[in-house]
Amino acid sequence: MKYGIVIFPTKEVQDEANSYRKRYDPHYALIPPHITLKAPFEADQQLLEELIIELKHIANDTKPFIININKVSTFAPITNTIYFKIETRPELIDLFEKMHSGKFQKNQEYAFVPHITIAQSLSHDEYSDVYNSLRMKKIQIEDKIDRFQLMYQLNNGSWTVYETFVFGKEFV
């Protein structure tokens, strides 16, 4: 089965991201707006149980923190993906690194760029139009992060929460 680890921002941030995603992101219906900490990976039941124990330890060792979203950016020319850029925080880097060491698969394809995707798989013309209008938008969002989620992929390609890990509150 395929799993992934994400942070879901608050409803207000998700609503803002979804105001673009419903028009510009074909994955809109597959998963809510999120910050990816661990890209999809395969795990059997035994490995999953070991990873859940690790995730509880990671959550217990993490204190809630604030993220700041202050602009729209892009991964072009690699892909025509547009996203809300999240200021890099030591806590985010620490979570990412912990989920790519120890028992976790080292399946990191790209450098970690904290973000929330708002548009992807756009044609070049559509990408240019959307990005040029969004990059002028003044964005100043602060959000409190106090948990992350282990997700799994269903047969229809959508993702659902397997377990939520609250910072400082997990029993191992």
Q: Active-site positions?
A: 34, 115
Cα–chain center distance at 136: 24
- What distances in angstroms separate CA 49 from CA 32, 112, 148, one per listed residue? 25, 26, 17
SS (HEC) of 87-140: CCCHHHHHHHHHCCCCCCCCCCCCCCCCEEEEECCCCHHHHHHHHHHHCCCCCC
Pair 64, 146: CB distance under 8 Å: yes
What does the alpha-carbon distance between residue 172 and residue 77 come to, in Å, rounded to a whole number? 44
Pair 163, 150: CB distance under 8 Å: yes
What does the alpha-carbon distance between residue 74 and residue 130 come to, in Å, rounded to a whole number? 11
| Tokens 């809510």, residue located | 32
